[in-house]
Every structure is written in C-alpha cells, then in structure tokens.
Amino acid sequence: MANLFISYSRKDSAFADRLYQRLQQAGHTVWMDRKSLAGGQEWVKELEKNIPEADAVILLWSQQAASSDWVRREIEFADSQKKPIIPVTIDGTLPTDNIILQGKQVIRAQGRFNEAVLEINAALRIYIEVVVGSPPPPYNPSGWRQVLSGLPVWSEVLIGLMALVLAFLALFPQESRDDLLHRLGLLGSSATPTVQIAVNPTLTPTTPPTTATETASPTPVSATTSVTDTPTATTPVAMPPSDSPVTFEAINAWWQANGYGTLTINATLQDLAVRRERQLRSRPLTQLGNIELDDQGQTIEQSARVNGYTGAVMIAAYAAPRTPTLADITDQIAVKIDAASRANYPEAGFSAYTNTVTGYTYVVLILGAGGG
C-alpha cells in the first residue's frame, strides 16, 4: 500500500474527509492536515516533511482549489520533489491553467465517487508497483565484460547485430512488430514474447465464441468465451472463488450463481471490448490515465452509441502488473450496477491481454442491456 498526501482547499473539506476514510480503508497511509496535524505542530514544516515522504499526492481540484495559494504551493513543492500528482476534479473544474498539471489525466469524481476511488487505486497501483517499485540492481559493466570476454569474436558480432535489430523494431508499435516477426517466421506460437488472449471481435451474439491465444505456454488469464458448456437454468452453478483467475467463464459462473441469468457475447460489445483493451496496452505504463476512457476521451456509453448500441452499458477495466482475480472485476460490477438491476444486463464483450515482458495484464469487460 502507499503513503499518500491529500492536497485540497479547506472549502472542500467534506469531500476530502470522505476520500481520506476510503483510502485508509483500502490500506493506504494517508496524511491530511486536519486529520494528521497535532496541536502545536507547525503547518509549513509538516508539509515540507510529509510531501517528500509520500509516494504520491492526491490533488482534489475545484474552483476553490484553483484559487487557493496553499494548494498551488503544495503542487509546486510536490513537483519539485518529483512526486506523482494524481488530480481529481470534484466539481468538474479542470486545471487547464496550471502548467504543472497540464497533460495529466484528471479523474472525475463529481457524481461518481465510488468509480473515482477505484480509478485512484488503479492509478496508485501503477505508480507504486511500477514507478516507485523496487529499484533495479546497479549496473555492473565489469560483469558484462567478463561474460563477453569468454565468447568467440563472432558471438560478439552477433550480439551487436541483434541489438541493432531490436533497436530498429522498437520504432514500430507492438502489433506491427509482432506481425513483422510472424511474416519473417521469427515469432511462432512457441516463441511469442507476449500473450494475447482476445475473443474474435466478429462474433455474432448466437455464435459461441472461441479462444484466440498466441502462446503455447499456460497463462492465468483467458478470454475463452465458449458457452457450449454453460449450465441450463435448472442446473445449479457453483459460485467461483473470488480469487479465481479472470476468465469469461468465471464471470459468467459468478453471474449465474447470483441468479442474474446467463451472459452471451454481443458482437458490438465484443468489438468495443477488444478495441478498448488494445488501446490500454498501447499506452505508456506511466500514462495509463483513466482506463475507462478511450484514447479520444470517450466514455463507454458514448462509444456504444456511436457504434449503434442503444441499450445501457457498463465497463469494468483492469490494468496492473499482477495477475487479476475475479474479484477485481466483480467488485467493480457491484459498485456500478445494483443487484436488482444486474439481470437486465444479459449481453457482454470481453477481452484480456498479458504482456509477459512487462508483467502487465489488461482486462476489459463490457456489459449491455440489449439494443445493438
């Protein structure tokens, strides 16, 4: 868990208090002036002490914060300490005039507090597990010289050529690199460096989807969506463990065991899920931003309408350097759709991808109420 510093305007204390409690409940250590300052302590000295000790700064942005000199000073001091700043707008105001915050993905909390908390925790996982995580061992050039000194000359030449090839391939997007290597016969099912597990985006709602994998090695994340073995309504379905690997079958079993019916793949939602997941993995790890928005900043509702899906939709997204569990997705469903309404969402789209190089797993589940 993370050490956090909350920067806010005193006029936004009610929201700050609420967020403070939720972050503490999530296991984070949170510093906030009114909660953490003891009598007689000097405010400025405590700020100068606690911001450098924080893993990240949660900035609550609003019209009041925009006009607060203290908030501005805290932003500037955090930036000087090279601390990650996660801006959260609580009234829809965006920090467009603050040069430090320009270009940062802003989490929107107005009218969606629970969703914002999920997004804050997702952003913190990125910063803490990737940016702040354990530093790599120090570089030891003598170690490499010792290794290379024992190799024949042609091996050193080959290593140099391989380095040039890798540098050249790095100029291309990942999908283009994979396609090029496949065409050259250098990347096959037994040697792929990444694992893509995505459902065929052209499936129709009545066609049982198939598994599309690109590796022979096992992976805990699967997007197999075949419903040929789905139990009938009269067959009792066991509740899958909450720490089960995320698969469409596991989600469907959870859905059925709770009495919500049976999920079926919808072609439009499936296409959206695959596109959203691919956009996620194409983003730099430190700039994932709001993982529920596409690269144009559209919500899933907006994307669904553009693609002709008229029913209500919900997205549950995951991006982190660890294997996701069923609870990582079902917890989001529980927050976004009340139990009485879940049976009204019989359609779905699902896509997942694990990059074995970075260790990151990306999961996108879209639920729909019908209409496209």
Q: What is the pLDDT of residues 213-263, one digit of tens each?
A: 333 333 344 343 334 444 444 567 889 998 889 999 999 999 999 999 999
CA-CA distance, 108 to 293, in Å (whole number)?
A: 11
Assign 139 to helix, strand or coil: coil
pTM: 0.44
Mean pLDDT to the nearest integer, 264-280: 92
Checking if the pLDDT of 84 tops 60, the result is yes
**Is residue 292, in this structure, part of any structural domain at all?**
yes
Residues 109 and 22 in one domain: yes
Give how many domains the chain has, as a whole number: 3
CATH number at residue 12: 3.40.50.10140
Q: Is residue 251 a part of any domain in this protein?
A: yes
pLDDT at 365: 95
Exposed (0-12), middle (13-18) or buried (19+): which is 139, by Cβ within 10 Å?
exposed
User: For residues 85 and 37, which has the higher predicted lDDT (pLDDT)?
Assistant: 85
Domain of 166 in residue numbering reads as: 141-183
Q: Is 199 exposed, middle or buried (0-12, 13-18, 19+ CB in 10 A)?
A: buried
- Strand pairing of 347-354 and 195-198? antiparallel
| Distance, first Cα to last Cα, the chain | 41
Q: For 334-353, write each residue's pLDDT tens digit.
A: 888 888 888 899 999 999 99
Q: Are residues 165 and 269 in the same domain?
A: no
Q: What is the mean pLDDT of the chain?
A: 75
Find out whether 332 and 304 touch, Cβ atoms under 8 Å. no
Residue reference for tokens 């996108």: 364
- Is position 189 within any domain? no
Tell me the percentage of the chain whose pLDDT exceeds 90.
29
Is the same domain home to 213 and 292? yes
* Residue 168 CB partners (closer than 8 Å, separation 6+): none
309-334 residue pLDDT tens: 999 999 998 888 888 899 889 988 88
149 and 124 together in one domain: no
Q: Which residues contact 187 (CB under 8 A, 6 or more apart)?
A: 178, 181, 193
| Torsion (CA) 62, 67, 69, 75 in degrees, nearest 10 | 40
SS3 content of the chain, % helix, strand, coil (to 5): 40, 15, 45
Q: Which of 140, 136, 193 has its CA nearest to residue 169?
A: 193
Spatial contact of 328 and 256, defined as CB atoms under 8 Å apart: no
Q: Which of 30, 324, 4, 282 is nearest to 132 (CA)?
A: 4
Residues 211, 340 within the same domain: yes
- Lowest mean pLDDT across 82-86, 183-187, 345-349: 183-187
pLDDT at 216: 34
User: Which residue, chain included where needed, has tokens 């596991």?
Assistant: 250
252 in the same domain as 166: no
Q: Which of 291, 368, 302 is nearest to 333 (CA)?
A: 368
For residue 10, tell me if it sits in a domain. yes
Residue 355 confidence (pLDDT): 86
